[in-house]
Structure 1
Amino acid sequence: MTKALFITHTAAPSGAELATLRLAIALRDNGSGDTGRRVDVSVACAQGGPVVDRMREAGLETIILPNTFDSRAVTVRSRSLRRLILGFFGLAKIGWSAGATARATGATVLVAESTKALVIGAVAARRAGIPLVWQVHDRISAEYFGGLLASVVRGLGWVFSRGYIANSRSTMSTLFAWHRATLVAYPGVEPSRLPDHVSQRRPSETVVVAVGRLTPWKGQDVFLRALADTTVRPQCVYLVGGTFFGEEAFRESLERLGHELDLPVIFTGHVDHPDAYMRHADILVHCSVIPEPFGQVVVEGMNAGCAVIASGPGGPTEIVESGINGLLVDGGDQEQLTAALNTLIGDRELRRRLSAAGRRRATYFDIAESARDIASFLDTVSATPERKRAAHG
């Protein structure tokens, strides 16, 4: 049986960490079916926080590693070489502890859930003598890391990882995968069992929602300016999301912008279960200004029954067929976003058609299917020569 120890550097409830939570639960439950492979899952986190609490509530074995770590102290956009070097050695120190944890839990494979977790996992895997898989939630590209650091991260991944699990083909294309096992596994959702979304209101009563961390690259400022130029303004706009990594000033700027543009916008802050807002809305807008690695909220919005507008390039182009189950715009293009909003706000029947097609499309991203693929992949990567001979003989 495969024993996987997932490593996370933060317990903030952001997209990658919530995806890890859903996957860990699905992997644990995966072996109940006739075709499921049993994976025993534990999670080691470099710090405590909300996601650790939710993992423990779900009954997952979750260990906080003993060395103190502040995820805000090491950022990929830091301009201080000294800070990056000190951060690297701090992560390596945590990795030594993670290696002991891997031994204690009997892990047969480590799964690093972020770039920082990759550094932790590289040390831990060497100490424990087991393979490391890097589950990549971010595009390893210049837009996110800068050109030099992106190359360094790609190199680290290739040297220390036995294989990659990428959250989209777009993300996989940014990795150096020569002679490495690879799997594209989309972050899954649980398909909705509720009746079809029926809220599609008249244009003047439309409710629009954008869900995601409030940070400049998510483009909420472009979204607000695009809304201000629509022919018919929606009745209500929800910006659902919090700030986790020193981005409070950006939220304040968004609040000022919403006031200046006289928009009916409500800032909810972080919400553990944003699906309630999505089920209430007619339109969900995803508005990242640089390529999104995947775009979980796009699938979640489809699953909830919203008519979806999403920005490309990147992962959303692997989800949305424009004009069939949603609309695609170029990231950061305010005029295109305004035009798409005008189209959907003004056409109630189109919203209904896209909503129904979007719900059907969301079933393609079932978390149970992703878990089955990942379980098989981890079983293959973690197999020792002795286990492989036993499996085939």
Structure 2
Amino acid sequence: MILTTASASAGGAELCLADLVAAGVTGARLDVILGGSGQLADLIRERGLVPQSITPPNRLAQLGDAMTASHFLGRWTTLKRALLTLGAAWSHRRALHRVWHERTPAAVVTLDLKTHLLAVGAIPSASSLIWWMHDDPSIRPLTTPLLRRAVSLASRHPGGFGVVTCSHFVARQVQRALNPPAHVPILPIVNPIDLERLLGEGRHSPSNHTSSWGASSARTAGREVGGDGGSGARVRIGLVATYARWKGHEVFLKALAALPSRVVERVEGVVVGGPIYRNPQSQWSRGELEQLADQLGLGQPGRPSVRFRGHIDNPAKVFDDLDVVVHASTRPEPFGRVVAEALALGLPVVTPGLGGAAEAAGLDRNPGWDQVASQQAYRVHETCVTVPPNDPQALAEALIRLIEDEPLRHRLAQSGPAFARAAFDLSRLPDQWSEAIARVRASARARRRHIDPRFLDSDSCSSSISP
């Protein structure tokens, strides 16, 4: 089984790849092809596997339409760039084709949209093709028609074709946007978290503190506001995200600027993350965000300070020194890994809960939670606090509540880890992926025999998986 991505950076999807390498797949040997060396390659090596690097040409790596295709000029510019990229795409496809055919794995699993498209017709006929979807295809006006056509072609692949999604939300979006034939299985495998690795490092580690809330209390203790006999410990509120423009940095900074004077000296804002993509149009630069913070007056008298920590390689240490985590994405998340990790570490979370983030926070267990939340500035749930999307004032009100209500922070810090342990258990992953591959191969056999795949039982899906 070969996991293939054009990326070399460690975003959410790539961290899930690293977790799968750590967990393994029952009955399969894993190989990994990455889009270059770097942090992701280091993470794979730490998990005992040496990846192969096939770096895509810069012109291909920098192509993207998620943000630039929302208006006519943006679509035309992106389309023109795509046409100029055809040669680079063909060259990269040939390099992948050569490796895939040399190894002839039981399955080729692709992680990103470009590799999804390039793999169609390029893998051995005996290998199954599985798209591991970590994206909502409906938000990409130019790529979606290509994906829809690719699904039609891949559905006839002799070795079988299927889609594994990182959440039930993405599974629904794939069905709606790509409308695959009935015999193509769409299989949600909710992203697990390597909790042992996450909890074993950083200040939130149980080895450093008796409980997650104990960790939070220990961090805030002693950070008393000086100079005026302040009324409480400083609360560090962090946005943890890549610099993608839809991750809500502007919303977060505006919410900090809207905090009233009574809490300003008890708050420090922290922005954790950085630009990790090779497409500059799709992400902020640090200079742009610092300029926005200056324009909002952050750090000036009467306004909270904000600190930019940059990208941090160790996922566990991302949350060090934070007391509250803000997840402010302005469009639905495919999954929301930051939400899951923060809950596992016992940190209170504020989120719009859009898309897969609702699953990451356990909100989907309560039907109608989003309708209720949309009628209020914020709402407190068992595991988190929700706010309407793209609403700095509502986010500010939720933060005021968490700053001033220490028992609420305590309760959320207690409930998050219990939910995360139950929901994101990495030990389930090997069997889930083994069953997914067997399901794809069984569906291909059923199609050849003209059997409706909806009537396949578990026995007919079972099969051995060779490397």
Give the TM-score category using the shorter length: 0.7 to 0.9
Matched, 1:189 2:224: no
1:325 positional shift? 0.6
- Equivalent-residue separation in structure 1 for 2:436 and 2:406 (angstroms): 44
Q: Which runs of 5+ in 1 are unaligned?
A: 31-36
Query: Residue in 2 aligned with 1:375?
Result: 434
Question: In 2 relative to 1, CA 53–389 (structure 1 residues): closer, same or farther, beyond 3 Å?
Answer: closer
* 1:62 aligns with one of 18, 30, 51: 51
Give the residue type in structure 2 aligned to 1:133.
I
- Equivalent-residue separation in structure 2 for 1:292 and 1:165 (angstroms): 16
Range moving further from structure 2, 63-72 or 350-359? 63-72
Range moving further from structure 2, 48-57 or 203-212? 48-57
Q: How high is the sequence identity, in percent, across the aligned residues?
A: 25
- Equivalent-residue separation in structure 2 for 1:58 and 1:106 (angstroms): 23
1:185 positional shift? 1.2
Query: Residue in 2 aligned with 1:33?
Result: none
Range moving further from structure 2, 299-308 or 378-387? 378-387
**2:9 touches 2:39 (CA, 8 Å); kept in 1?**
yes
Query: Residue in 1 aligned with 2:449?
Result: none
Query: Residue in 1 aligned with 2:456?
Result: none
What RMSD in Å do the two structures reach over aligned CA positions? 2.7
Query: Residue in 2 aligned with 1:251?
Result: 286
Give the residue type in structure 2 aligned to 1:136.
M
1:158 positional shift? 4.5
**1:7 touches 1:44 (CA, 8 Å); kept in 2?**
yes
- Equivalent-residue separation in structure 2 for 1:388 and 1:97 (angstroms): 35
Q: Which runs of 5+ in 2 are unaligned?
A: 69-74, 156-160, 201-205, 222-231, 364-379, 447-458
Give the residue type in structure 2 aligned to 1:376.
E
- Equivalent-residue separation in structure 2 for 1:221 and 1:67 (angstroms): 32
Question: In 2 relative to 1, CA 173–339 (structure 1 residues): closer, same or farther, beyond 3 Å?
Answer: same
- Equivalent-residue separation in structure 2 for 1:274 and 1:60 (angstroms): 19
**1:46 touches 1:94 (CA, 8 Å); kept in 2?**
no
Give the residue type in structure 2 aligned to 1:108.
A
Query: Residue in 1 aligned with 2:331?
Result: 290
SS at match of 1:111: strand
Give the residue type in structure 1 aligned to 2:346.
G
* Aligned residue runs from structure 1 range 163-312, under 5 A: 163-175=162-174, 176-179=179-182, 180-191=184-195, 192=199, 194=206, 195-197=210-212, 198=214, 199-200=216-217, 201=220, 204-231=233-260, 232-233=263-264, 234-245=266-277, 246=280, 250-259=285-294, 260-262=297-299, 263-312=304-353
- Largest Rg, 1 or 2: 2
1:44 positional shift? 1.4
Question: In 2 relative to 1, CA 70–45 (structure 1 residues): closer, same or farther, beyond 3 Å?
Answer: farther
Greater share of residues in strand: 1
* Aligned residue runs from structure 1 range 1-393, under 5 A: 4-27=1-24, 37-65=26-54, 68-69=57-58, 71-76=60-65, 77=68, 79-125=77-123, 127=124, 129-142=126-139, 145-146=140-141, 148-160=142-154, 162-175=161-174, 176-179=179-182, 180-191=184-195, 192=199, 194=206, 195-197=210-212, 198=214, 199-200=216-217, 201=220, 204-231=233-260, 232-233=263-264, 234-245=266-277, 246=280, 250-259=285-294, 260-262=297-299, 263-320=304-361, 321=363, 322-363=380-421, 364-382=423-441, 391=463
Normalising by structure 2, we get a TM-score of 0.74
Aligned length: 377
- Equivalent-residue separation in structure 2 for 1:99 and 1:249 (angstroms): 34
Cα offsets for 1:154-178 (capped at 9, x unmatched): 3323532511111112111111244
SS at match of 1:330: coil
SS at match of 1:266: strand
Question: In 2 relative to 1, CA 306–255 (structure 1 residues): closer, same or farther, beyond 3 Å?
Answer: same
